[in-house]
Amino acid sequence: MKEKLIGFVALILLPSMVWGQIRLENPSFEGEPQDATVPTGWMPCEPGTTPDILPGPWGVTNEPSDGDSFLGLITREDGSFESIGQRLLTPIEEGECYNFKIDLARSGTYTGYDKPLKLRIYGARSRCEKTELLYESPLIKHTEWKEYEVVIIPKFEYNYLIFEAHNIGSSVPRKGNILLDNCSRIKKCTRA
């Protein structure tokens, strides 16, 4: 009888535990390590976007922080950069507070693309349309994984999120990289 009661309570509480959470498809960027490949569940959003599923290609030997692989995005000397996006299963709502965590690092051995970068995250109403900058990380200089908390409060409802490698506003474009792994679920939060 006690087991049935526990099971019944769990069934009642489970929806409330996941209410307000948005799950990304392939949040750890899993896939067969190879260059110029967009992980399953993601789409390229900038012309010339050829992200890499790592480790392995381009001399990158960092170990994943989660799972078997991670993502590498770069910027180039010609000013071009890489970005990927994903349609959300549930839109993020205007004026609501959301947070999630992501592991970020830099590779010191990305075949010449070794300068530190920032990660920018945009909200979009349609595929790859950068409508609103929601988050910008600090400059990622470290080569070990560190967890970053992302807090966003969108001004509009968005169906897409876009993750972009960003050259820190230097007047001279440079060859840099940023590594991404282990995105958590996006959860509603309370404003501070």
What pLDDT digit, counting tens, does each position of 39-90 carry?
Answer: 999 999 999 899 999 999 999 999 999 999 999 999 999 989 999 999 999 9
The DSSP code for 77 is T
**What are the pLDDT digits (tens) for 156-173?**
999 999 999 998 766 678
Question: What's the domain count of the chain?
Answer: 1
Categorize the per-residue pLDDT at 12 as very low, low, confident or very high, splitting at 50, 70 and 90: very low
In a domain, 119, yes or no: yes
Contact 87, 123 (CB under 8 A): no
Please say if the pLDDT value at position 15 is more than 50: no
* pLDDT value for 4: 54
In a domain, 21, yes or no: no
For strand 97-105 and strand 146-152, is the pairing parallel, antiparallel, or unpaired? Answer: antiparallel
Show the domain range for 165.
Answer: 29-189
* pLDDT value for 51: 95
Q: 3 is written with which tokens?
A: 């087991």
In a domain, 8, yes or no: no
Instruction: Kindly report the backbone phi and psi dihedral angles of residue 16, in degrees, each rounded to the nearest multiple of 5, phi listed first.
Output: -70, -25
In a domain, 1, yes or no: no
**What are the pLDDT digits (tens) for 117-160?**
999 999 999 999 999 999 999 999 999 999 999 999 999 999 99
pTM: 0.88
Cα torsion for 72, 73, 77, 78, to the nearest 10°?
140
Please say if the pLDDT value at position 20 is more than 70: no
Contact 191, 97 (CB under 8 A): yes
Q: Give me the residue label for tokens 């070990």.
A: 144
In a domain, 16, yes or no: no
Q: What CATH number did the domain enclosing 184 receive?
A: 2.60.120.260
Taking residues 187-191, what's their average pLDDT? 89
Q: Which residues contact 48 (CB under 8 A, 6 or more apart)?
A: 76, 80, 82
Distance CA 17, CA 12 (A): 10
Q: 131 is written with which tokens?
A: 């409508």
Please say if the pLDDT value at position 18 is more than 60: no
Categorize the per-residue pLDDT at 112 as very low, low, confident or very high, splitting at 50, 70 and 90: very high
In a domain, 125, yes or no: yes
In a domain, 153, yes or no: yes
Report the first-to-last Cα separation within the chain, whole angstroms.
Answer: 43
Closest alpha carbon to 73 in 184, 180, 181 = 180
In a domain, 120, yes or no: yes
**Could you tell me which residue, 8 or 151, shows the higher pLDDT?**
151
Please say if the pLDDT value at position 9 is more than 70: no
